[in-house]
Structure 1
């Protein structure tokens, strides 16, 4: 997900209410929580509460923290099923639904992929084709076995792993919005490193305005979205990549082949849920323009703006 790709456009006219925004480091990433409240003290308490909720989610779904249920599922791969909270079980169910819908273009078991591709300037040559094929040997969503009655997750092959880097932040943004609405906050934004959920209005009663930047022209916008109860997520290949022999290889990997996805520079999807938009944008990056659009057409509540590798921009409404 791409933080720099989205920008918020604020109103000039203010009312008796206050808009308070706080930048936080959560889930290893930059979050921005914005609330419209009656005063700064109330707003601060609301932001504290949502920060605690997102920390709780991280302590449930992180594959990097050894004490989490996801880490235990990964440790027991090929050994035994692990009983998990219903929240994590349901999140995994939805992830597997995306895998089926996308024909495996989306796959949370990609967490087991060997890290052959590095996008930190340390790569000096392309990995060997045989090594790339071997890197995804443990990646297969069909080997994630769920038992709804027992609420267990079992990874059928030793060495498998699951991770929620692709939809976890969108899920956190949605949960943050739900919590703040339940507290009576009339409007705001939970921005999880570019995967964001909005509700209500700004203090001048206008919708939130979210600008989608042109990845090739950072000072220009592809579109400006006017959002009330809505979410947006972006996947892109323009920030982390390597180049060999004049070809760009970006950080979004096709879980079926082990090779970087190609066809899109960026895909922004918007609709009711940041988690769902996140899954769609990731899947579309892997599927490419034709199959990605075919997938998107199955969900009329979601729209998209994308830029292809050739620089062509399309608005799908």
Structure 2
């Protein structure tokens, strides 16, 4: 069993545990008075994250995602309501970001080559080539070389699901740190709102460390190179594409009611630049962002005050 850390704040208790999940370091924190109860709640959250990882896996032959991919260009595939809704939300984010976020990608595996080498000449696939039938709950990829994957938003979705499970079991206050992306609900033990720094002390040097994020999620995408490849796994999105300049932006943090949406939006906002990114976020309800440029200037969206 993984070690459970107990943190006391004003006579209240936070129980924290770290675990390696979905290829990332997760830290799950719950506020409570009973360590046995806390262990059980965290165990159930970890089980749910593992379930989501298996659900969205492209490595398991019998996964729904693999079944969809195997039938690309062949026939629609009936899927569970959960997978259908996740794909539907992903396509809506693609529309919102004009394709900067896209769960589709272009397959170059030997299976496709052997099946029909001609399909590899088709390079303009996108989210627009995914056909959903809500009545039949089917998903159809129009082109044989198409694949879908959830590298961009799977971590956030898993965090949302873990939070949901814990809330059902009576956890009224907590934090999920999914590789530096934070999802909070309720309050700290001293009844103060969660801030970026209190949810993750390692981020106390951020210019927005005091930003209140209770009952919200915040996900950050960092530009570590002069050129970024849009939607690859490193930049936390799902579709490989040609790199183009995003120098000028150092990082983008998205604040949203769900970790799934925050996780999906961080890199697309980075790719479209400061002005367009702020404009886009300002059109959305209950969504905020903080952009930091390469001169460490901070650009918050409306409704966000940086001290």
Q: TM-score, normalised by structure 1?
A: 0.79
Partner of 1:126: none
- What is the alpha-carbon distance in structure 1 between the residues aligned to residue 14 and residue 280 of structure 2? 38
Distance 1:148 1:203, change over 3 A: same
Partner of 1:290: 275
Q: Quote the offset at 1:14 in angstroms.
A: 3.4
Q: Quote the offset at 1:50 in angstroms.
A: 0.7
Residue of 168, 172, 176 corresponding to 1:190 = 176
Distance 1:114 1:303, change over 3 A: farther
Partner of 1:6: none
Distance 1:72 1:141, change over 3 A: same
Q: Quote the offset at 1:226 in angstroms.
A: 2.1
Using CA pairs under 8 Å that are at least 6 residues apart, name the structure with larger relative contact order, 1 or 2: 1
Partner of 1:4: none
Residue of 245, 263, 268 corresponding to 1:278 = 263
Q: Quote the offset at 1:310 in angstroms.
A: 4.5
Partner of 2:242: 258
In the alignment, structure 1 residue 87 sits paired with structure 2 residue 82: yes
> Does structure 1 retain, via aligned residues, the 8 Å contact 2:69–2:141?
yes
Residue of 42, 50, 56 corresponding to 2:45 = 50
- What is the alpha-carbon distance in structure 1 between the residues aligned to residue 245 and residue 163 of structure 2? 31
1:277-297 per-residue CA deviation (whole Å, 9 max, x = no partner) reads: 222212201212222222111
In the alignment, structure 1 residue 77 sits paired with structure 2 residue 63: no
In the alignment, structure 1 residue 155 sits paired with structure 2 residue 141: yes
Q: TM-score, normalised by structure 2?
A: 0.81
List runs of 5+ in structure 1 lacking aligned partners: 1-9, 116-133, 213-217, 242-247
In the alignment, structure 1 residue 27 sits paired with structure 2 residue 12: no
**Aligned residue-pair number:** 275
> Does structure 2 retain, via aligned residues, the 8 Å contact 1:250–1:260?
yes
SS of the equivalent of 1:269 reads strand
Distance 1:312 1:19, change over 3 A: same
Q: Give the CA RMSD over aligned residues.
A: 2.6
List runs of 5+ in structure 2 lacking aligned partners: 1-5, 110-119, 233-238
Distance 1:136 1:103, change over 3 A: farther
Q: Quote the offset at 1:264 in angstroms.
A: 2.1
Partner of 1:60: 55
Residue of 179, 186, 196 corresponding to 1:200 = 186
